[in-house]
Every structure is written in structure tokens, then in C-alpha cells.
Chain A
Amino acid sequence: MSRYVNYRDFDWVLLIFVLIICALGVTEIYSATRQTRFDGIQIKQIYWIFAGIGIMFLMSLVSYQALLENVYWMYIVSIISLIAVLIFGRSYLGARRWIDFHFFHFQPSEWVKLILILTMAKYFSEYQDRELPFRELVKAGMIVVVPMLLVMKQPDLGTALTYVPIAVIALFLGGMKIRHGIIMVLIAGVLMPVIWHYGLKPYQKQRLETLVSPEADAKGAGYQVIQSLVAVGSGGLTGKGAFKGTQTQGQFLPVPHTDFIFAAWAEEHGFVGAVVLLLLYFLVLMRLIQNAQTAPDRAGTFIIMGVAGVLAFHILVNVGMVVGFMPVTGIPLPLMSYGGSSVLFMFLALGIVMNVRMRRFVN
């Protein structure tokens, strides 16, 4: 297999859109943490972004086909690490999500996402039937369901949910029958009350309850939701201006530099600013899908669509939470929210996307 890699085929347009979103994120992190104990944290975010760009370029050098050849090993290591977290992990706020390696905290559930995307791509690059029979559907589904259950056991429902779009996108593109899709939705519908009673922790139930009626507990669990709605709503059409959001600057908005950064942005820049930001994300997603369509092979398409699916799901859940459509799940807004893991994951995923794109004229 001859390798013809050229940075002329690197998706510079996509990178520019991504960096614009990152830059807006840095300004909002700065605005939201001024005069708090997190003051100056935007500098650290800039370091993470540069580190991410570096990783992205490194990632684009390694052939994704080489990765795919070893993906089953990686998958097995992932499962083992998730089990290891359950056994050896450090308990923090009642959940075991981290393994403490002294020099850094290792949270495997983030990286498992990427491996799941690759694993699904590998699976469907080998299974190429136009239609997906029920047996294959279950087999492919189990690839995602097993780690998902392990993550739920930590418990980290939010991260576990981010595995769902990987499975849904892959199964859908892999030829899932409409009939099967409907059956799965129905089963989920039936299981919902069962999960409500036996599967959810009390705090998880409370989060869902406050989504329905935040005023019921305005000082407690509903506080975050109400303050977020007030922040977004009071921003109005054009916003209160950079650094002038009363909800953000007055620290009424909870964690305005991570999970609720979109609310902070919407308060200070209004409906216009929020729609511009959504448009940027939409352009990134459309550019990703375009790359998926021009991918050299079936595996490449599945990889990029997987990344796009995860990104879209994050945006839906995070912005949906901020505008009151979704419960508080603790899922950050990719590229905007402060946090090293989140930034590195996104750029690593983009690195694989670039990797696919740069090999589109191979063969």
C-alpha cells in the first residue's frame, strides 16, 4: 500500500472553524472567571489547545488503517482499564472514575469513546452487507453496550450516554433495518420506568425531576437550572456585552467556565451571539460529514461520522441543558468548556479525521 500524504489535503478550513470556536471559548472562560479563584485559568486552556493541536498533527501522521488493524487489542485494553477503575479507582464524590497515577489522573472513560468509534468502524469495514440482520445488530451493539454498562457502574451516567450516538450512528450507517430501529426505541420506552425505579441513583432522579419543574427546589437542585435560564433569557437579543453579564460576573451562574459556558456566552452576547456560535458548530459538523463522504473507504466514513455523532450529541445535551430542554448531566461543550481531557479528546478525534481526509486519494 503506497502512502501518499500531503498537507495540502489537510482540512485547513475545518481547523480554522475549530480554532475560532476555541478562541471564543477562551474569551468566555476569561470573562467568567474574572475575580474568582479560577482567575487566569484561560491561560491554561490556551496551553491545552496548543497541546491538542500538536497531538492532532501527530495523529494525522499515523495511518488510520494501521490503527484499525490493532483496534481489537485496544478494545480489550479499554475494557480491562474500565474494570480496573471500578476496582482500584479513587472514589471522588461517590463515584469511581479516576485512576490516580500520582503525576496525573487517568480517566479512561473519555478515551474509550475514541476506541469505540474505531472499533465500530473496523467492525463495519469487515461486515459490508447492505442490510443488517438482527444477529449482527446485537453483536455490533454489544461492542458499545459492554463498556457503557461498566461506565454506568462507576457511576457516570453522563459519559455512558455519550457512547449511545457512537452505536446509533454506526448501526444506522451499517444498514440497520427501520423495523429494528423502531423495535429498539420501543424497548427503550418500556425499559425507561424500570430504569427509573431500579437503575438510577437518587441524585440522578432529582436532576430529571428538576428538569420538569425547576421551581420545586429553587434553592437546591433546581438552582442551577433556574440560574442558567435566567442568564440566557436576560441576555436578550444582543446580550449584555462582554464581561458585563450580571449572572456570570455575579457568580449566580454555576460553573460558568465549564458545563454552563454556553449560558455565560448567551448572556453576554445575546441571541445573536449564541446563534453565531451554533452556526460555527453546524459548519464544523457539515464539514466533517463532507469529509466522511469523500473518505477513501467504508472505515474512514464510519470514523468521521462517529466523531461527528459524538460532537453533535455533546452539543445537543449541553446546549439543551442550558436552554432547559435536557437534564443537568455534567457533559461539557466541546472546544468551548475549560478542561484538558475534553480539549485533548476533541483534537485527538480531529487528528483521526484529518488522517482519513489526507488519505482520500490513496489507492
Chain B
Amino acid sequence: MFGREDKVPQIRITVIQYGILAIFLLLAFGLWRLQVMRSGYYQNLAQQNRIKEVPILAPRGKILDRYGRIIVDNYPSFSALLLRNQGPISNATLDAIAAGLHLDPNDLKQQVRRASAAPGYQPIYIKYDITPDELAFIEAHKNEYPELDTITVHRRLYPKDGFMANLIGYVGEISEDMLNRPRYDLYNPGDIVGQSGVEAEYNDLLMGQNGSRRVLVNSRGKEVGELSDQPAVPGKTLKLTVDIDLQIAAEEALGDKEGAIIAMDPHTGEILALVSRPTFDPNMFAVRISPKDWSAIINDPGKPLLDKAIQAQLPPGSVFKIIMSVAGWQSGIAQDLTVHCNGGADFYGRYFKCWRKGGHGTITLPRAIAQSCDVYFYTLAQKLGIERIAKYATEFGLGQKTGIDLPNEVSGVMPSEEWKIRNFKQRWFPGETISVGIGQGAVATTPVQLVRAIGAIAMDGKLVRPHVAFPSELPPQYKPSSYTQVTDVPIDPQGWDVITDAMAQVPNPGGTAAGSHLEGIDFAGKTGSAQIVSNAFKARAANKSEYKDNGWFVGFTPRRDPNIIVAVLYQGGEHGDLAARLAAQVIKAYVEKQRSLGVKTAGTLPPDLATPGESPISRSSPPFRPGTSGHVEMTGLWSTNSANDFRVARFDIPVSRRFHAALTAPGMGAFAKDNRPNFRSHPAPQPSPSTSHRYVPDILAVLPDPVRSPQP
């Protein structure tokens, strides 16, 4: 029949066959494109998919004192976290976990809810720095709550009660602001870096290099195998020039008074102690500081984070008279200057008072220093003029940074005519020179500047660069050679004698710090009392105690080429005499320690303490323990009356040791002993009235009878 067909037309079936063939060729082409042409690219992607880099955090380097005693260490801290790759966590489980870890169950649930949008392989950190009983809870319930896990990190353990806190500083997560600075170019977000003190200054050295572990993971982030390890490089140990024993003495001396103490070896510039008050507990930063603690620190009017030894710029008061004396001597004026002090004098039409109402009478340089006569130095200032004063003060480093290896040092102010025009667009008034003569007016110095300047004068003009790290142990990037640079400032030897002799009279009867006399110690120094507001303002002020004068003292021993120099700033201390007492405590501790070490050379010399800056004590066994007693064998040789009769004998001398040297910084002892942190809440810093660190020199007993009879 036309137009009708029982069979389907063959041509159309063939078309469908070719259509199917075309589809299959297209699919085969798709496979070829992926599997042959671009297989390398996709193989690479597949590798990236399943290989995860897990960082291994490098522990920060320890910080040691000059004898290798531990100041800052690390401790393993556990953080609790929830893994979410096993599916959702039930509310009952969360309640149980919250109870075990002492968390608020509602907070925990909210935290889990908030995190539900994040990728499943990211764990939720629920508690940092858990206690041993919380750790035990997690271990005991491993099977019950497989989603509950812990990780270990090394956290900073600092001495307790804010000991040395301003010098050491603290660590914290790197801020966005810091990441933008070129110094932190090589750092990554999340890195824990030093935020102040030596932690910040030597961060590159202390931080070490994080390692990583390449692991195979599945799509849920579960580890299914391990490829390779790149171990972490721990941070390097930093040895400070600080002597813990002296630091303890300085901390105890300052107590809870406001101010700063800084002790230095003027030969080298090595800082032996550095204290600033009020202080803070850096352990609060070691885990994660709470907003409440942070705002308490930030809003404290005493500014605990400020290191006053290098950041407080205040008028030095009468301490400046030593600079004046040198300037006067070197200018040939002070040698023959005799002034009559009636308790004040007129300069440029204004009456300037001396601190002693009755006056000092006829006075020359030595007594003017010892008794701090203001009229003498007003006269000297008038004769010198501001330019010469500024020249000598600048030579001794005032009004500029000392270059100490601590961050954010301030420069202070040393005024001059040029300085006044530059900053105030005003002419210098000659009357201002008179105030500068006694360290008032625009002069502002930091404790570290004073310790360096007065140290240089006591050293006959050797101006050092203060530093807290041993330059010999620093990598070249810190330019260690610049640490030991000594600048010679010429001082006439005779003037040096006169001025230092006069300073030795200060802590003696008739001097301004007679109450700080140290018997048997050649102690010299200079007091200072600096007004922080004008007398007129103070008279009007309602709360007078707020504007009390600052007490200053810079002292050293012995009077020439001293071994130690101490500067004390006692804010609100009214008079330099009180500051001098604090300095005397530090000087006394230093001398007594030196003498007790001297005694030890007759007995068992602890090798670690004999040579500063060598093998750390922690590696060898402690050479001596506080309170132990022992015996010293001694051989004696003597002659009797007849010339040819020599006798020799060996003696066994019982030695009782009452000398206490610190084994570590306070709070680190328990840790050093059993290598375990004492989990503690962080108490507010408060100075402890400890007496266990006093140095009592050993006295070699009278020789007992010989153990064996003398041999002819």
C-alpha cells in the first residue's frame, strides 16, 4: 500500500546508530581530554586533596640569667577540642563534656552551634590550658566521647609575681598591625611573637622555626596515613646579662613602691638588674588574656606595661649636678669656684631658693656635691651657659637613646637654645639655665640614661652601651660588635678624683644620703629630688600626695672604676635619700655576694658561678644548695721559731653555708625540679616579703687542730 509500511524505514535506524556512535565518540573524547591530555594537572589536584600539612609548633627558646639559671621556660599545655568529623554531637554529650571540663553547658552548645557553618574538618577549641583533672577526664572518657580530643602546645612559663616582667616582656598572637611592618615580613597570622621586652627584641632568635607533618587525609580530614616529617627547629636559648640574685635584691628593694631600679656593670654596659613598678604578670598573656584582665592592665594609672627604666622621662633633679660638675671642671670654672650660700640667690631678677633654708655658707665643689648645694650649681650654670651644659650632657648621652637592646626606649630631653627654637619657636631665657643647673626645668632623663652617664663619669669618661644580652652569643644580624663599643669622653683625672671623692661623701655623715651608709663598702653616689610640678601649682593642688617629688639616686661601688652602678627612681619618694636606701640594698647584696664567692674560692668553688656567662647551671648538678653544710680540706705550711723548722699539716674545716643563691627565677623552681607546671590561677602581682634570698657571707672558721700531727 502506498505511503503505508509495516516495517520501520532502515535509513532512520541507521541514523540513530550513527547518532549513538557520535555520542560514544564524544564521551571517549571527554575521557581522553581529562585522562590523557590533562592527567598531570588532575593528579596534582588529587595529591593536594589528600595531603594535609599539620604544623609542628616550635617551642620558644628559654631565657637564662648570666649564670645559666632559668628565668623563662616553656611548659606543655593541653587544649581541649571537639572533632566534628564523626557527625553531629548530641546535647547530652555536650552536657557531660561541659560538666567534666567545668564549662557552662549553654556556652558550649552555643559555641558548637556557631561553629556548625565552618568546614567539618576544623575542630572547635573549647578550653585552653586545661588542668590535670580535666585532662584525666578526657583520657578516661576517650571511648565514650570519641569527638573529645586534646592537643599539646608549648606555652611560656614566666616567673611569678611579675618578677622581671618589664624586662622580659610577654608573648601574644601577632597583630595585623605588626604584620604590616617590614620587620615581621616573614611571619604568618597566628604566630605567637614577643610583644614587649626581650621577648620582642630577640623574637627572631627565640622563636625558632615551625615544622610540619605531611599526612594523608580523607575528605573528612581524618588522618589515614603519614608521609613525612619536617621537625620543628626550637628557638635558641637567650642568655641575659642579668644576675637573678641581684634582680631579686632590686625587686625586693623597690617592693611595691612606684619607680624603677637599674643596675649595670659600667665596664661593659651589661645590665645586672632591671625593675619597674608597678608591674604585671606575663603569665596572664601566656594562654590568652581575658578582656577583663587586659582592660585592668591598660586602665591602671600606674601603667604596668611601661618599662620605667627606659621609658620614664623625668627631670633628674640634683643627680644632674654631677654632669654640671664635670662640665664646670672641664671648662676650668669649677676648680676655683667659691660660692656663698645664704639659702638662695638672685639670678636675672628672680630669687632662686636653695633646698636648705639656712644655706650652706661658703662652699666649694666637693661639699657642694656632698651636700647638694643648689646656689653653688645655680652660679655654675650661670657661668657655663646653656650651650656648654648641653654640650657636656649630650656627650654623656643625655637627651638621646642609650641604644639598650630593649624595644621602645625613649630619648628624654636635653634642652638648648636651638632645641627651644625648634620646638617652641621661642628664644631661650637665661633664667631657664639656672633651673637646668639643678636638673629641673626642661631636662628629662630616663633611669638608663643616668646609669650610663654617671657610670661613664665614675669610669673616667668611658661611655658604654647598656645591653641585656651577651653580644658574644648573638647572631650577626644584631650587630653584636656595636654592643661593646665604648666612647671616650675626656675627663681631667684630677677632676675625676675630686668629683668621685665628693660622691663618696654623699652616703656618709654630712652627706645628703647619710642614712644609706654602708659600713665597709666604698659606696659613692648622688641623690636627687625632682619636682614634677611647680611649687606654686603644688600649693594649689587639692591632692598634694599626687604631686610628691620624685626621689632619685645613682650610686656605685667602689668610688672609682666601679664594678656596679645602680640608678633608682622612686616616684613620689619625696627625697633622694629614700631612693639611696634602695640603691644601698642592691649594692650591699652585690658586695656580699662577691665576698661570699671570694670565700668559696678557698673551699669548693662552684665553677658555674666563678666565670660569668659560661656553662649553664641547669646542665651540671647544682654546685651548692641553700642550707647545706660540708667540709673543706686545707693544707697549711708554716715555720716555727727556729728558721729551719718548717711544718705542714692538713686540716679538715667544717663549713656551714648560709649563703643562699637562687637556683632559678622565683616561680620557676618547682618547674625546673619536676618539669611540670604548677597549674595555677594567675594572682595579681604582689611583691612577696621573702627573706630566703639574703646573702650572708661565709666566714672561714678559726683553724681547728690538725687532723694529723705535724711532720718534720
- Tell whether A275 is near chain B: CB-to-CB under 8 Å: yes
**What is the size, in residues, of chain B's interface with A at 8 Å between Cβ atoms?**
44
Could you mark each residue 312-348 of chain A with 1 if its beta carbon is under 8 Å from any beta carbon of chain B, else 0?
Answer: 1001100110011100000000000000000000000
With a cutoff of 8 Å between Cβ atoms, the chain B residues found around residue A129 in the complex are 3-4
A191 and B60 CA atoms in complex are apart in Å by 68
Stretch at the interface among B6-14, B268-276, B296-304, B591-599: B6-14
Interface SS of chain A: helix
- B31 CB to closest chain A CB (Å) equals 5
Partner pick for A275 among B31, B33, B42, B216, CB 8 A cutoff: B31
A237 and B9 CA atoms in complex are apart in Å by 41
Chain A, Cβ-Cβ closest to B1: A128
Q: Do A286 and B17 touch (CB < 8 A)?
A: yes
Q: Do A271 and B31 touch (CB < 8 A)?
A: yes
Partner pick for B219 among A250, A278, A292, CB 8 A cutoff: A250
Could you mark each residue 32-54 of chain B with 1 if its beta carbon is under 8 Å from any beta carbon of chain A, else 0?
Answer: 11111011011101110110000
Q: Do B50 and A234 touch (CB < 8 A)?
A: no
- Tell whether A285 is near chain B: CB-to-CB under 8 Å: yes
Stretch at the interface among B18-26, B151-159, B512-520: B18-26
Q: Do A232 and B34 touch (CB < 8 A)?
A: yes
Q: Do A236 and B43 touch (CB < 8 A)?
A: yes
- Tell whether A206 is near chain B: CB-to-CB under 8 Å: no
- Tell whether B542 is near chain A: CB-to-CB under 8 Å: no
A320 and B16 CA atoms in complex are apart in Å by 19
With a cutoff of 8 Å between Cβ atoms, the chain B residues found around residue A278 in the complex are 24, 27-28, 31
Chain A, Cβ-Cβ closest to B41: A233
Instruction: State which residues 174-225 of A face B: CB under 8 Å.
Output: 175, 219
- Tell whether A144 is near chain B: CB-to-CB under 8 Å: no
With a cutoff of 8 Å between Cβ atoms, the chain B residues found around residue A316 in the complex are 23, 27
Interface size grouping (class) on chain A:
35 or more
- Tell whether A297 is near chain B: CB-to-CB under 8 Å: yes
A281 and B219 CA atoms in complex are apart in Å by 31
- Tell whether A298 is near chain B: CB-to-CB under 8 Å: yes
With a cutoff of 8 Å between Cβ atoms, the chain A residues found around residue B15 in the complex are 172
Question: Which of B7, B35, B219 has the most C-beta atoms of chain A within 10 angstroms of its own C-beta?
Answer: B35
Q: Do A325 and B26 touch (CB < 8 A)?
A: yes
Known: A230-B45, A247-B49. A236 touches B39 (CB 8 A): yes
Known: A172-B16, A270-B35. A312 touches B23 (CB 8 A): yes
- Tell whether A229 is near chain B: CB-to-CB under 8 Å: yes
Chain A, Cβ-Cβ closest to B21: A282
- A292 CB to closest chain B CB (Å) equals 7
Q: Do A233 and B16 touch (CB < 8 A)?
A: no
Known: A130-B5, A246-B49, A298-B8. A282 touches B20 (CB 8 A): yes
With a cutoff of 8 Å between Cβ atoms, the chain B residues found around residue A298 in the complex are 5-8
Q: Do B218 and A232 touch (CB < 8 A)?
A: no
Known: A129-B3, A169-B16, A312-B23. A251 touches B43 (CB 8 A): no
Q: Do B43 and A292 touch (CB < 8 A)?
A: no
- B469 CB to closest chain A CB (Å) equals 48
- Tell whether A98 is near chain B: CB-to-CB under 8 Å: no
With a cutoff of 8 Å between Cβ atoms, the chain A residues found around residue B24 in the complex are 278, 281-282, 315
With a cutoff of 8 Å between Cβ atoms, the chain B residues found around residue A292 in the complex are 8, 13
With a cutoff of 8 Å between Cβ atoms, the chain A residues found around residue B27 in the complex are 278, 315-316, 319-320, 323, 325
A234 and B46 CA atoms in complex are apart in Å by 7
A252 and B5 CA atoms in complex are apart in Å by 54
Q: Do B220 and A233 touch (CB < 8 A)?
A: no
- Tell whether B30 is near chain A: CB-to-CB under 8 Å: yes
With a cutoff of 8 Å between Cβ atoms, the chain A residues found around residue B35 in the complex are 232-233, 235-237, 266, 270-271, 274
With a cutoff of 8 Å between Cβ atoms, the chain B residues found around residue A172 in the complex are 12, 15-16
Q: Do B28 and A275 touch (CB < 8 A)?
A: yes
- B79 CB to closest chain A CB (Å) equals 26
With a cutoff of 8 Å between Cβ atoms, the chain B residues found around residue A249 in the complex are 218
Q: Do A229 and B42 touch (CB < 8 A)?
A: yes
Known: A230-B49, A233-B42. A297 touches B6 (CB 8 A): yes
Could you mark each residue 94-126 of chain B with 1 if its beta carbon is under 8 Å from any beta carbon of chain A, else 0?
Answer: 000000000000000000000000010000000
- Tell whether A289 is near chain B: CB-to-CB under 8 Å: yes
A289 and B17 CA atoms in complex are apart in Å by 8
- B188 CB to closest chain A CB (Å) equals 22
With a cutoff of 8 Å between Cβ atoms, the chain A residues found around residue B4 in the complex are 128-130
- B48 CB to closest chain A CB (Å) equals 9
A175 and B3 CA atoms in complex are apart in Å by 11
- Tell whether B217 is near chain A: CB-to-CB under 8 Å: yes
- Tell whether B224 is near chain A: CB-to-CB under 8 Å: yes
Instruction: State which residues 172-221 of B face A: CB under 8 Å.
Output: 216-220
A89 and B381 CA atoms in complex are apart in Å by 104
- A300 CB to closest chain B CB (Å) equals 10
- Tell whether A358 is near chain B: CB-to-CB under 8 Å: no
- Tell whether A293 is near chain B: CB-to-CB under 8 Å: yes
A292 and B46 CA atoms in complex are apart in Å by 44
- Tell whether A231 is near chain B: CB-to-CB under 8 Å: yes
Q: Do A233 and B119 touch (CB < 8 A)?
A: no
- Tell whether A78 is near chain B: CB-to-CB under 8 Å: no
Interface residues of A (CB under 8 A from B): 128-131, 169, 172-173, 175, 219, 227, 229-237, 246-247, 249-252, 266, 270-271, 274-275, 278, 281-282, 285-286, 289, 292-293, 297-298, 301-302, 305, 308-309, 312, 315-316, 319-320, 323-325
A-B contact pairs, 7 of them (CB 8 A): A130-B4, A229-B34, A231-B46, A236-B43, A250-B219, A301-B13, A325-B30
